[in-house]
Amino acid sequence: MTRVEPDVKFIKDLLKMGGASLKKCFQCATCSVVCPLSPDDDPFPRKEMIWAQWGLKDRLLKDPDIWLCHQCNDCSISCPRGAKPGEVLNAVRNYVFYEFSTPKFIGKLFTSPMYLPVVLAIPLILIFAVLQIPGVLKNPDMEHVIFGTFINDLAIEIAGLTVGAYVIIVALISFYKYWKAIGMSQDLVFEVERGVEGKTVQKIGGFLTEFWQALLEIIKHSRFRECTQNNYRYWAHLGVFYGFILLAISTAGATIYMHGLGIHELALPIYDPVKLLGNLGFLLVFVGLSWILYARLSRSDVAGSPSYQDWFFITDLYLVVITGILMEASRFAGAASIAYPLYLAHLYFVFMLIAYAPYSKFAHLMYRGLAYVWAKKTGRMPEPPQQVQSVQRET
């Protein structure tokens, strides 16, 4: 006999975190039938809807299926009750960021817009404190815009490395907690849902093989392709994803320039390969984000409404890109009085993006990656259609 212990607070939190419609579900299972990403065996999101209604927090948070959903919203459009299962699963994912966060009080700050002033104030205070250190803030060159004459480059590098080290440590702790949780939950889910006692999860290969397969899946974005109602998400997400990669490569190139050749990246001409890559990255992220925002705002009935966590991440990323572009434009225009404040604003938004990565929507990349590995390991993630077809043709 299974004893159900509802967590009422969890239900209330989900309602606030984007799952406001979850109580409308009457378990018809249309959503599981129409979902293009759900496996035939033990499909989602119907079962997650009842778990959410019953407040089965433990089971829901340890259910890697919530990460196999890409919020294409096919299910929400077909739901006869308007229960919006796509948004409910998004709310559960938002809760995962909080539940596994380290330290948890920082994760808590992202559970409600009520804490936004604190979220905005922390980096502001930290940056202000660093700027008070003698030698960090300089008298900038107002004739030529050279950012290194405004804020000491070394101070930015030390701050960046410190924040980076912090993020890596807390992210690894959070992800390890999650990995352990989904590992322990597998038997429970399989046993209770399928009624098969002691069923052993089929192991398909070693961890590295599954990790590699999961990585390929992420690189190709093949699961996004299967969305029918919101297929724009494939291109928009692809743009943001590869834009980010280009920005990372460009940052690595800039570091080599600075330490190997003694050239400041922000003083490079526009045709330099590092600059070209960086600008292409900015453009891809900007176009991808704008597309997502436009779809979400102009047809929220089809594309779904963003949660507070979505808004926070999208807005911060947008501000990083916009201040970055304007900063560069004002440098080329020689507008020093605009360029330097923009540089400071850009650092603030970048700081927020990186320092809050393990607690914000940014962390979805890692949680989804781990869930992909789990799904590959258990055979839960079917092969993409084109691969299945080619196998059929050969046989």
Considering the rule CB under 6 A, would residue 69 count as an interface residue with ligand SF4?
yes
Please count the residues of this chain forming the interface with ligand SF4, following the rule CB under 6 A: 27
Cα(151)–Cα(155) distance, integer angstroms: 8
Task: Please identify which residue in 15, 16, 20, 30 interacts with ligand SF4, judged by CB under 6 A.
Answer: 30
Nearer to ligand SF4, 19 or 253 (CB): 19
Contact 51, 92 (CB under 8 A): no
Which DSSP letter does residue 306 get? Answer: P
Q: Determine how many CB atoms are found less than 10 A away from the CB of residue 253.
A: 18
Considering the rule CB under 6 A, would residue 25 count as an interface residue with ligand SF4?
yes
Cα(170)–Cα(246) distance, integer angstroms: 25
Instruction: Work out the angle at residue 269's Cα, subtended by the Cα atoms of residues 267 and 272, and round it to the nearest 5 degrees.
Output: 115
First to last CA, the chain: 45
Cα(373)–Cα(179) distance, integer angstroms: 10
Nearer to ligand SF4, 26 or 176 (CB): 26
Nearer to ligand SF4, 24 or 264 (CB): 24
Cα(14)–Cα(53) distance, integer angstroms: 10
Considering the rule CB under 6 A, would residue 79 count as an interface residue with ligand SF4?
yes
Considering the rule CB under 6 A, would residue 81 count as an interface residue with ligand SF4?
yes
Considering the rule CB under 6 A, would residue 72 count as an interface residue with ligand SF4?
yes
Which DSSP letter does residue 152 get? Answer: -
Helix axes 364-378, 85-99, angle to 10 degrees: 100
Cα(221)–Cα(373) distance, integer angstroms: 15
- Exposed / middle / buried, residue 264 (Cβ in 10 Å: 0-12, 13-18, 19+): middle
**Least distance from C-beta 317 to ligand SF4, angstroms?**
22
Interaction pattern, residues 47-66, with ligand SF4; x per rule: CB under 6 A: --x-----------------
Task: Please identify which residue in 11, 14, 17, 37 interacts with ligand SF4, judged by CB under 6 A.
Answer: 37
Considering the rule CB under 6 A, would residue 73 count as an interface residue with ligand SF4?
yes
**Least distance from C-beta 233 to ligand SF4, angstroms?**
10
Task: Please identify which residue in 53, 64, 71, 282 interacts with ligand SF4, judged by CB under 6 A.
Answer: 71
**Least distance from C-beta 84 to ligand SF4, angstroms?**
8
Considering the rule CB under 6 A, would residue 31 count as an interface residue with ligand SF4?
yes
Where on the chain is the footprint of ligand SF4 (CB under 6 A)?
25-31, 35, 37-38, 44-46, 49, 69-75, 79, 81, 83, 85-86, 89
